[in-house]
Amino acid sequence: MSETETVDRLTIYADYVCPFCYLGKRSLERYRDERETPLEVEWHPFDLRSGKRNADGSIDHAVDDGKDDDYYEQARENVRRLQEKYDVEMNQEIAIEVDSLNAQLASWHVSESDPDRWATFDAAIYEALWQDGRDIGDPDVLAEIAEEVGLAPGEIRDAIDDEGLRAELEELFDDARRQGVTGVPTFVNEGRAARGAVPPEQLERLLEGE
């Protein structure tokens, strides 16, 4: 690529516990494989559990967030439909008992401290939850995932316990809301957005400004 050529950039707002984020990521991988030019992707964390998280990290299902049994059944149907469309196998369709805050803390730390390894770690977290059914809210699981991809487990444990990092992540969550992001995945390029686990051709239109 010559010095005069620019690199397209795409921001993705996502939360690991969102099955549509996993499916959207797989769609994005297909699109990137089909591109002839590089694409830089920036992850922006989003917190789906903020209103339902107990102090111990468990999920309080008594909180009314408008998501009832009918909502979850429809979500499962949509996940199954997209699994077939994108030819993706998943261990589970939703993960309502899993909290992603620790995973996002660990991931944000790696994105800042070791950005060249972040994409591998990010993918491994998604795979652990959606392919293997592991609890990515468990620090022991995250430490194991880190070790599996060549990162220091102790560093990941420290990141999870880092109050300064937690405050930084909370600011990122607030920033997503200020940007008008209300659900994930949301893909953003130059002020234009695509929401949901959209197909590769829609990502192409987003990047080309159509």
Pairing of β 8-14 and β 186-189:
antiparallel
CB contact set of 30 (below 8 Å; sequence gap of 6+): 86, 200
Give the C-alpha distances (Å, rounded to integers) separating 117 from 107, 130, 133: 10, 20, 23
Backbone angles phi, psi at 95, to 5 degrees: -140, 70
CATH for 9-208, options being 3.40.30.10, 3.20.20.370, 3.40.50.300, 3.40.50.170? 3.40.30.10
> What pLDDT does residue 104 have?
98
**Angstrom distance (rounded) from CA 81 to CA 210:** 26
The sign of the torsion formed by the CA atoms of 183, 73, 59, 57 equals negative
> What pLDDT does residue 102 have?
97
Q: What is the mean pLDDT of the chain?
A: 94
Tens digits of residue pLDDT in 170-196: 999 999 999 999 999 999 999 999 999
> Which tops the pLDDT comparison, 61 or 197?
197
CB contact set of 194 (below 8 Å; sequence gap of 6+): 186, 187, 202, 203, 206
The sign of the torsion formed by the CA atoms of 113, 116, 119, 120 equals negative
Query: Which of 27, 35, 30 is CA-nearest to residue 9?
Result: 35
The tokens describing 32, both together, are 């990137």
Tens digits of residue pLDDT in 93-146: 999 999 999 999 999 999 999 999 999 999 999 999 999 999 999 999 999 999
2: pLDDT strictly greater than 70: no
Place 46 in a pLDDT band, splitting at 50, 70 and 90.
very high
Tens digits of residue pLDDT in 143-164: 999 999 999 999 999 999 999 9
**Angstrom distance (rounded) from CA 172 to CA 137:** 19
Give the C-alpha distances (Å, rounded to integers) separating 107 from 16, 62, 110, 176: 10, 29, 5, 17
In the chain, count H helices and then E strands: 8, 4
